[in-house]
Amino acid sequence: MTGGVTFDVSVAHPARIYDYWLGGKDNFAADRVAAEEVLTVMPAMAQIARSVRLFLAAVVHHLAADVGIRQFLDIGTGLPTANNTHEVAQRAVPEARIVYVDNDPIVLLHAGALLTGTRPGRCAYVDADVRDPDRVLTEAGSLLDLTEPVAVMMLGLLHFIPDADDPYSLTRYYLDSLAPGSYLAISHASSDINTEPQRAAVERYNARSATPIVLRSKAEVARFFGGLDLVPPGITPLGQWAPGTAIPGPVGLPTYTALARKPAGPL
């Protein structure tokens, strides 16, 4: 227990494993063991984590600077690191408002570092599970105007939601609740790029982590975007969505990335 927040350090957790791959310090022995076991069979894992952060920065900058999006709902935020969503958005548009959501107590513990946005922009943090969309949207609605477009960021999140919890209906519910002109950004671990190292890595990850990963194919990832307009270049392997989103190293990183817009009318 730290600062009134309780968490179990004896079992590895996604936010802390990911923090280790990104070179952060907010992880414990169990997280480092799990992270290193994955690196043994997939040395590109640190490159993947860093490339996802470049994808995040590219998407947020594009939406804020080029599209005029002023509101971001970043679900599955992770531990604070370089170029958090509010920093990228508010560099382009100082009045941007960001709501962060995560269900891991250690992210809650460090959430203060995410709430540093300067006025006229604002930031808020919601300690909630993405599978509780009514609560997430209600709490987000105290900072965001949900009658105006919102960019929903679900990076590295949906592969933690098993089919039994119907992640497709879940993402649809979020988009149905938001205004036309809203956006959905996803990065998702893939089942059909570099199949063998990915399978071995996930087997090791799932043996250690409190929350297992579900790999999905390109067709399965495409289902998250049903009814939405994919922004070119569409669903791409990580590092190929925009120039500058690749970290030097192996190509064919087993993760898909995409951004799509909610059109006018029902989905």
Count of residues in contact with ligand SAM, rule CB under 6 A? 21
The yes or no reply on residue 88 touching ligand SAM (CB under 6 A) is no
| HSE-CB of 97 using CA atoms within 13 angstroms | 14
Residue 73 belongs to what H/E stretch? strand 71-75
Residue entry with tokens 């036309």: 180
Torsional class of 227: left (φ above 0), alpha (ψ -120 to 50), beta (otherwise): left
Query: What amino acid occupies position 238?
Result: L
By CB under 6 A, which span of 32-40, 117-125, 151-159, 249-257 interacts with ligand SAM? 151-159
CB of 149 to ligand SAM, least distance (A): 20
**What is the number of the residue whose Cβ is closest to ligand SAM?**
78
Contact mark string toward ligand SAM, 19..58, x via CB under 6 A? ---------------------------------xx--x--
Residues 191-230 interacting with ligand SAM (rule: CB under 6 A): 211
Task: Give the whole-angstrom CA distance, residue 136 versus residue 204.
Answer: 31
CB of 66 to ligand SAM, least distance (A): 21
Q: Find the binder of ligand SAM among 107, 140, 213, 242 (CB under 6 A).
A: 107
Q: Find the binder of ligand SAM among 15, 45, 73, 258 (CB under 6 A).
A: 15
Residue entry with tokens 């120039």: 243
By CB under 6 A, which span of 13-21, 115-123, 173-181, 212-220 interacts with ligand SAM? 13-21
Query: What amino acid occupies position 45?
Result: M
Task: Give the whole-angstrom CA distance, residue 86 versus residue 89.
Answer: 5
CB of 196 to ligand SAM, least distance (A): 22
Task: Give the whole-angstrom CA distance, residue 57 versus residue 88.
Answer: 6
- Before 120, cis peptide (omega within 30)? yes
CB of 7 to ligand SAM, least distance (A): 11
Token pair listed for 233: 């270049």
Q: Find the binder of ligand SAM among 38, 46, 76, 183 (CB under 6 A).
A: 76
Q: Terminal CA-to-CA distance of the chain, rounded, Å?
A: 44
Q: Interface with ligand SAM by CB under 6 A: which residues? A: 14-15, 18, 52-53, 56, 76-78, 102-104, 107, 129-131, 155-157, 160, 211
